[in-house]
Amino acid sequence: MDAENDINFECIRCGNCCTDPKTIVNLTYSDIIRIKSGLKLNLNELLEVVGFYIFDHNLDENTKKRLVTPPLHTERGLSYIGLLKDHKGKCFFFDSTNKKCKIYPLRPNFCKTFPFSFGYKDDSADLYIVITKKAKDYCLGFTPNSPPIDRSYWLKLGEEVLKDLKHNSEFIAQWNLLVKKKKLVPSAKQFLIKVIELEKNHKD
Protein backbone atom coordinates (compact mmCIF):
# COMPACT_ATOMS: atom_id res chain seq x y z
CA MET A 1 0.00 0.00 0.00
CA ASP A 2 1.22 3.51 -0.75
CA ALA A 3 1.40 6.03 2.04
CA GLU A 4 -0.85 9.05 1.66
CA ASN A 5 0.48 12.43 2.68
CA ASP A 6 -2.14 15.12 2.19
CA ILE A 7 -5.34 13.82 3.66
CA ASN A 8 -8.39 15.96 4.26
CA PHE A 9 -11.02 14.20 6.31
CA GLU A 10 -13.73 14.84 8.86
CA CYS A 11 -16.25 12.26 9.96
CA ILE A 12 -19.75 13.52 9.11
CA ARG A 13 -21.42 10.63 10.95
CA CYS A 14 -23.15 9.27 7.88
CA GLY A 15 -23.09 5.84 9.53
CA ASN A 16 -21.98 4.03 6.36
CA CYS A 17 -19.11 2.27 8.11
CA CYS A 18 -21.50 0.93 10.79
CA THR A 19 -24.19 -0.23 8.36
CA ASP A 20 -22.32 -1.60 5.35
CA PRO A 21 -23.34 -5.28 5.14
CA LYS A 22 -19.96 -6.27 3.69
CA THR A 23 -17.89 -4.64 6.42
CA ILE A 24 -16.99 -6.91 9.30
CA VAL A 25 -15.65 -5.05 12.32
CA ASN A 26 -12.77 -7.23 13.42
CA LEU A 27 -12.19 -7.73 17.12
CA THR A 28 -8.93 -8.33 18.94
CA TYR A 29 -8.94 -9.96 22.33
CA SER A 30 -8.40 -6.56 23.96
CA ASP A 31 -11.47 -5.18 22.13
CA ILE A 32 -13.47 -8.12 23.48
CA ILE A 33 -12.22 -7.52 27.03
CA ARG A 34 -12.98 -3.79 26.82
CA ILE A 35 -16.54 -4.37 25.57
CA LYS A 36 -17.21 -7.20 28.02
CA SER A 37 -15.92 -5.28 30.96
CA GLY A 38 -17.48 -1.92 29.96
CA LEU A 39 -20.92 -3.45 29.41
CA LYS A 40 -20.54 -5.98 32.24
CA LEU A 41 -21.46 -8.88 29.96
CA ASN A 42 -21.36 -12.51 31.03
CA LEU A 43 -20.14 -15.25 28.71
CA ASN A 44 -23.54 -15.92 27.12
CA GLU A 45 -24.17 -12.23 26.56
CA LEU A 46 -20.73 -11.92 25.01
CA LEU A 47 -21.61 -14.71 22.59
CA GLU A 48 -24.53 -12.57 21.43
CA VAL A 49 -22.26 -9.76 20.25
CA VAL A 50 -19.07 -11.52 19.18
CA GLY A 51 -19.34 -13.29 15.85
CA PHE A 52 -17.18 -16.14 14.59
CA TYR A 53 -17.50 -15.74 10.82
CA ILE A 54 -16.58 -18.95 9.05
CA PHE A 55 -14.53 -18.63 5.86
CA ASP A 56 -16.47 -20.13 2.97
CA HIS A 57 -13.32 -21.10 1.09
CA ASN A 58 -9.93 -22.59 1.87
CA LEU A 59 -7.36 -19.97 2.79
CA ASP A 60 -3.89 -20.17 1.34
CA GLU A 61 -0.94 -19.03 3.45
CA ASN A 62 -0.57 -15.69 1.63
CA THR A 63 -4.20 -14.81 2.22
CA LYS A 64 -3.88 -15.75 5.88
CA LYS A 65 -0.87 -13.43 6.23
CA ARG A 66 -2.79 -10.52 4.69
CA LEU A 67 -5.64 -10.73 7.19
CA VAL A 68 -5.57 -7.97 9.80
CA THR A 69 -6.59 -10.45 12.48
CA PRO A 70 -5.59 -14.06 11.88
CA PRO A 71 -8.12 -16.86 11.44
CA LEU A 72 -8.99 -18.86 14.53
CA HIS A 73 -9.66 -22.59 14.72
CA THR A 74 -13.19 -23.22 15.99
CA GLU A 75 -15.55 -26.21 16.00
CA ARG A 76 -17.04 -25.05 12.66
CA GLY A 77 -13.72 -24.40 10.93
CA LEU A 78 -11.44 -21.40 10.51
CA SER A 79 -13.20 -18.26 11.57
CA TYR A 80 -12.74 -14.52 11.60
CA ILE A 81 -13.72 -12.77 14.83
CA GLY A 82 -15.90 -9.70 14.46
CA LEU A 83 -18.87 -7.84 15.88
CA LEU A 84 -22.21 -9.40 15.03
CA LYS A 85 -24.65 -7.66 12.71
CA ASP A 86 -28.40 -7.63 12.40
CA HIS A 87 -30.20 -9.29 9.47
CA LYS A 88 -29.68 -6.17 7.32
CA GLY A 89 -25.94 -6.12 7.93
CA LYS A 90 -25.98 -3.24 10.41
CA CYS A 91 -23.67 -3.38 13.42
CA PHE A 92 -25.33 -4.70 16.56
CA PHE A 93 -24.35 -1.49 18.38
CA PHE A 94 -25.52 1.09 15.85
CA ASP A 95 -28.41 3.30 16.92
CA SER A 96 -30.15 3.97 13.59
CA THR A 97 -32.52 6.59 14.97
CA ASN A 98 -29.80 8.85 16.26
CA LYS A 99 -27.10 7.60 13.87
CA LYS A 100 -24.80 6.98 16.80
CA CYS A 101 -22.63 4.22 18.17
CA LYS A 102 -24.14 2.91 21.40
CA ILE A 103 -20.74 1.93 22.77
CA TYR A 104 -18.63 4.79 21.46
CA PRO A 105 -16.06 4.87 24.32
CA LEU A 106 -15.72 1.08 24.14
CA ARG A 107 -15.76 0.72 20.36
CA PRO A 108 -13.27 -1.66 18.73
CA ASN A 109 -9.96 -0.41 17.36
CA PHE A 110 -11.26 -1.02 13.84
CA CYS A 111 -13.89 1.68 14.44
CA LYS A 112 -11.43 4.04 16.12
CA THR A 113 -9.08 3.94 13.17
CA PHE A 114 -11.62 3.87 10.32
CA PRO A 115 -11.23 5.22 7.58
CA PHE A 116 -7.49 4.65 7.92
CA SER A 117 -5.06 1.81 8.30
CA PHE A 118 -1.39 1.94 9.18
CA GLY A 119 1.89 0.21 8.50
CA TYR A 120 5.63 0.57 8.91
CA LYS A 121 7.72 1.62 5.90
CA ASP A 122 10.08 -1.21 4.91
CA ASP A 123 10.05 -2.61 8.44
CA SER A 124 11.47 0.69 9.73
CA ALA A 125 10.06 2.71 12.62
CA ASP A 126 8.38 5.10 10.14
CA LEU A 127 4.67 4.70 10.37
CA TYR A 128 2.46 5.56 7.40
CA ILE A 129 -1.26 6.17 7.00
CA VAL A 130 -3.44 4.90 4.17
CA ILE A 131 -7.11 5.32 3.39
CA THR A 132 -8.70 1.88 3.40
CA LYS A 133 -10.34 0.49 0.29
CA LYS A 134 -13.70 0.32 2.04
CA ALA A 135 -13.40 3.98 3.03
CA LYS A 136 -12.76 4.88 -0.60
CA ASP A 137 -15.92 2.95 -1.49
CA TYR A 138 -18.34 4.58 0.93
CA CYS A 139 -16.90 7.01 3.48
CA LEU A 140 -18.38 10.50 2.98
CA GLY A 141 -15.84 12.28 5.17
CA PHE A 142 -13.41 13.12 2.37
CA THR A 143 -14.47 16.33 0.67
CA PRO A 144 -12.56 19.36 -0.66
CA ASN A 145 -13.89 21.27 2.37
CA SER A 146 -12.78 18.69 4.95
CA PRO A 147 -9.91 19.88 7.17
CA PRO A 148 -6.45 18.30 7.01
CA ILE A 149 -6.14 15.46 9.47
CA ASP A 150 -4.15 15.79 12.68
CA ARG A 151 -1.36 13.42 11.66
CA SER A 152 0.21 13.18 15.10
CA TYR A 153 -3.12 12.07 16.61
CA TRP A 154 -3.65 9.41 13.96
CA LEU A 155 -0.05 8.18 14.00
CA LYS A 156 -0.15 7.76 17.78
CA LEU A 157 -3.40 5.83 17.50
CA GLY A 158 -1.98 3.78 14.62
CA GLU A 159 1.05 2.85 16.69
CA GLU A 160 -1.12 1.67 19.60
CA VAL A 161 -3.41 -0.29 17.32
CA LEU A 162 -0.55 -2.02 15.49
CA LYS A 163 0.85 -3.07 18.86
CA ASP A 164 -2.53 -4.45 19.86
CA LEU A 165 -2.84 -6.33 16.56
CA LYS A 166 0.58 -7.87 17.12
CA HIS A 167 -0.37 -9.10 20.60
CA ASN A 168 -3.63 -10.42 19.21
CA SER A 169 -1.85 -12.31 16.42
CA GLU A 170 0.46 -13.91 18.99
CA PHE A 171 -2.50 -14.92 21.15
CA ILE A 172 -4.33 -16.50 18.24
CA ALA A 173 -1.18 -18.23 16.98
CA GLN A 174 -0.79 -19.76 20.44
CA TRP A 175 -4.43 -20.88 20.43
CA ASN A 176 -4.13 -22.44 16.96
CA LEU A 177 -0.92 -24.21 17.96
CA LEU A 178 -2.52 -25.72 21.06
CA VAL A 179 -5.47 -26.85 18.94
CA LYS A 180 -3.06 -28.47 16.47
CA LYS A 181 -1.35 -30.30 19.32
CA LYS A 182 -4.80 -31.40 20.55
CA LYS A 183 -4.28 -29.65 23.85
CA LEU A 184 -7.33 -27.45 23.34
CA VAL A 185 -10.84 -28.05 22.05
CA PRO A 186 -11.34 -25.60 19.19
CA SER A 187 -14.59 -24.06 20.35
CA ALA A 188 -15.68 -20.43 20.04
CA LYS A 189 -17.10 -20.49 23.55
CA GLN A 190 -13.85 -21.90 24.91
CA PHE A 191 -11.94 -19.15 23.13
CA LEU A 192 -14.03 -16.49 24.86
CA ILE A 193 -13.43 -18.24 28.19
CA LYS A 194 -9.67 -17.93 27.54
CA VAL A 195 -10.10 -14.24 26.76
CA ILE A 196 -12.04 -13.74 30.00
CA GLU A 197 -9.24 -15.52 31.88
CA LEU A 198 -6.79 -13.04 30.37
CA GLU A 199 -8.94 -10.21 31.69
CA LYS A 200 -8.95 -11.74 35.18
CA ASN A 201 -5.18 -12.29 35.15
CA HIS A 202 -4.75 -8.70 34.05
CA LYS A 203 -6.78 -7.47 37.05
CA ASP A 204 -5.02 -9.76 39.61
CA neighbours closer than 13 Å in the CB half-sphere of residue 192: 22
Tell me the three-class secondary structure of 57-76, residue by residue: CCCCHHHHHHCCCCCEEECC
Least Å distance, CB 192 to ligand SF4, is 18
Is residue 82 part of the contact set for ligand SF4 (CB under 6 A)? no
Contact assessment for residue 80 and residue 55, using Cβ atoms and an 8 Å cutoff: yes
Q: How many other β-carbons are positioned within 10 Å of the β-carbon of residue 86? A: 12
Least Å distance, CB 40 to ligand SF4, is 17
Longest dimension (CA), the chain: 56
Is residue 85 part of the contact set for ligand SF4 (CB under 6 A)? no
Is residue 18 part of the contact set for ligand SF4 (CB under 6 A)? yes
Interface residue with ligand SF4 among 12, 43, 54, 177 (CB under 6 A) is: 12
Continuous segment of H or E residues that includes residue 10? none
For residues 117 and 186, which CB has a smaller minimum distance to ligand SF4 in the complex?
Answer: 117
How many whole angstroms separate alpha carbon 28 and alpha carbon 169?
A: 9
For residues 17 and 129, which CB has a smaller minimum distance to ligand SF4 in the complex?
Answer: 17
Is residue 93 part of the contact set for ligand SF4 (CB under 6 A)? yes
Least Å distance, CB 9 to ligand SF4, is 8
Least Å distance, CB 184 to ligand SF4, is 29
Is residue 171 part of the contact set for ligand SF4 (CB under 6 A)? no
Is residue 11 part of the contact set for ligand SF4 (CB under 6 A)? yes
Number of alpha helices (DSSP H) and beta strands (DSSP E) in the chain: 8, 7
Is residue 140 part of the contact set for ligand SF4 (CB under 6 A)? yes
SS3 assignment, position 162: helix
For residues 94 and 175, which CB has a smaller minimum distance to ligand SF4 in the complex?
Answer: 94
Contact assessment for residue 101 and residue 94, using Cβ atoms and an 8 Å cutoff: yes
- Residues within window 101-130 making contact with ligand SF4, judged by CB under 6 A: 101, 103, 107-108, 111, 114-115
The torsion of the CA quartet 187, 104, 108, 86, rounded to 10 degrees, works out to: 50
Residues that bind ligand SF4 (CB under 6 A): 11-18, 25, 83, 91, 93-94, 101, 103, 107-108, 111, 114-115, 138-141
